[in-house]
Copies of this chain bind each other. A is one copy, B any other.
Amino acid sequence: MTDRSALDTLLGYGIHPSVQRIAIMDYLLTHRTHPTVDEVYVALNKEIPTLSKTTVYNTLRLFAEHGAALMLTIDEKKICFDGVVKPHAHFMCRRCGRLKDVELPEGAGTLQLDGADFMVEETHVYYKGLCRSCQEQPQA
């Protein structure tokens, strides 16, 4: 069922499926943790021992190019990926580093710019600050 869904997703975006691609897409769809390349690699290496990190890099980039995944650059330290491509914003806590999905305020995902000087294909809204639990903890 999740396999099915991952496969369908790939096909829906015109991406030729393979064992590795299906596994990676499935991971994205079932783990909404905004994983990094390394996290995907480490997790999938258990079930696909021959998996190469190069393949994870290539595949996630392929997904992003086809619009099947989002490449998040909210954290300058690392690039994260999101299998949920429906417009939404992201919040990152500057202390614990956790990423959370945030609903976009009405219409913010489709903001149009003045005078059609640009053709916007992607919009990213990033919030940074302190999450609830880090606010409550004593300052480090």
**With A73-B76, A118-B91: A125-B127 Cβ-Cβ less than 8 Å:** no
Q: Do A130 and B118 touch across chains, with their CB atoms under 8 A apart?
A: yes
Q: Does A114 have its Cβ within 8 Å of any Cβ on chain B?
A: yes
Q: Do B121 and A129 touch across chains, with their CB atoms under 8 A apart?
A: yes
Contact residue among B102, B111, B113, B125 (Cβ-Cβ distance under 8 Å from A124): B125
CA distance A119 to B108 in the complex (A): 20
Number of copies: 2
Q: Do A127 and B131 touch across chains, with their CB atoms under 8 A apart?
A: no
Chain B residues in 8 Å Cβ range of A127: 111, 113, 118, 120, 122-124
Binding site for B on A (CB under 8 A): 71, 73-76, 79, 91, 93-94, 100, 102-103, 105, 108, 111, 113-114, 116-132, 135
Interface pairs A-B: 8 shortest CB-CB: A121-B129, A122-B128, A73-B73, A124-B126, A120-B129, A119-B130, A119-B129, A120-B127
